[in-house]
Amino acid sequence: MASIRTAVPFSPASFCVNRMNHHLESSDYQKLFCRKMDSAELQTPLLHGLPDEIALLCLARVPRQYHNALRCVSRGWKALLSSEEWHSYRKRNNLAESWIYVICRGTGFKCYVLVPDPTTRSLKVIQVMEPPCSGREGVSIETLDRRLFLMGGCSWLKDANDEVYCYDAASNHWSKAPPMPTARCFFVSAALNDKIYVTGGLGLTDKSPNSWDIYDKATDSWFSHKNPMLTPDIVKFVALDDELVTIHKASWNRMYFAGIYDPVDQSWRGKENEIALCWSGPTVVVDGMLYMLDQSLGTKLMVWLNETKQWVMVGRLSDKLTRPPCELVAIGRKIYVIGKGLSTVTIDMDMAARVDGFLVSSSTGPLMEHDFSPEKCSVITI
């Protein structure tokens, strides 16, 4: 008996699905398909039913502490939060928020993110991060715009290295950055006008005692520079008035002296040696004025008066509140003195007053159980 064959009606949809399943075996097609999906998602309106201009106006008002949640909504939102348009809009409309990033060393080192709390007039810990190079000593830390750079360092098992790690606060992501031209450890660094300057330290060769490396944000690259006037005895950089104040320690008499480097002219000149008194104390610049925390005999906040070329005491602070050794950081006109255990003293320079020589300030007790000392404080504004 002859078998009966039943004809299956042709379906364009089934044909396309079968063809797609066949082609999905190709990795090239998968990549193309994913790219098209990503492109389609990025072209989707930020908020359905609203123009992107209005959606941006709404989303930009979401407090910064919720930005990580916004990034998880869609690829479009994630791309928006990393864009220059987002940050420019928040800054232009006074929506930008400044967070303090404190590097503390205990067993390794961690980065504590502190946020000003206007209701309590204090700082609170909102995030704790462990950088990729947390096991190293002698790491230098600088901030450019929305990125935190951790450079160089060494350990008991490894000599000085040239590695650079970068934390992008806009994407909340760590990545490797271009390495320094010279391997360094326990060296001096400063950030000025979208560039990072580094010099000195351990791990240098005979060919690099007078060298310094410069990172340019515009090109995302380093270049090395040699200058015979750059002595290897620099112990501190201070970025002030678009120039670098260099603090030196003379090897012949152990005295400290100062110099000035002008990045525009690439020239060096002398500076009043009195400013070199800040060699051991943390410094911060507020509205073009250089402040130093003198922790030698008690704790005193000092300001450098360029007209008279001298340090003048602003006021004393209680050691019980500051818990030295401390670091300084500023947001606007407020100076934060951060000590052991993230204890904090806040000084509002617009309302600063003295009572019996002591500065009127607000303080917060330790924010963590361990008495880890801060090594570096930076501010990132988004």
Residues β-bridged to residue 214: 197, 223
pLDDT 10s digits, 221-232: 999 987 766 666
Peptide bond into 178 cis (omega under 30): no
Q: Say if 7 falls within a structural domain.
A: no
Q: Say if 46 falls within a structural domain.
A: yes
Domains in the chain, number: 1
Q: Say if 54 falls within a structural domain.
A: yes
Q: Say if 30 falls within a structural domain.
A: yes
pLDDT 10s digits, 90-110: 999 999 999 999 999 876 789
Q: What is the mean pLDDT of residues 321-343?
A: 94
- In 10 A of CB 73, how many CB atoms? 13
Report pLDDT for 141.
96
Quickly state the pLDDT bin for 1 (edges 50, 70, 90): very low
Contact call for residues 144 and 172 (beta carbons, < 8 A): no
Which structural domain, as residue segments, surrounds residue 47? Answer: 24-92
Q: What is the mean pLDDT of residues 64-83?
A: 93
Report the SS3 class of residue 73. coil
Q: Say if 130 falls within a structural domain.
A: no
Q: How far apart are CA 175 and CA 132, in angstroms?
A: 9
Helix crossing, 84-92 with 52-59: angle to 10°? 60
Q: How far apart are CA 224 and CA 183, in angstroms?
A: 12
Give one DSSP letter per residue of 294-341, joined into a string: E-SSSEEEEEEETTTTEEEEEEEE-HHHH-SS-EEEEETTEEEEE-GG
H or E segment to which residue 191 belongs: strand 188-192
Handedness of CA 334, 311, 263, 375 (dihedral sign): negative
Report pLDDT for 58.
94
- In 10 A of CB 25, how many CB atoms? 8
Q: Say if 37 falls within a structural domain.
A: yes
pLDDT 10s digits, 116-160: 988 877 899 999 999 998 888 999 999 999 999 999 999 888 889
Q: Say if 77 falls within a structural domain.
A: yes
What is the average pLDDT score of the chain?
85
Q: Say if 88 falls within a structural domain.
A: yes
**Identity at 81, one-letter amino acid code:** L
Least confident piece of the model among 207-211, 303-307, 358-362: 207-211
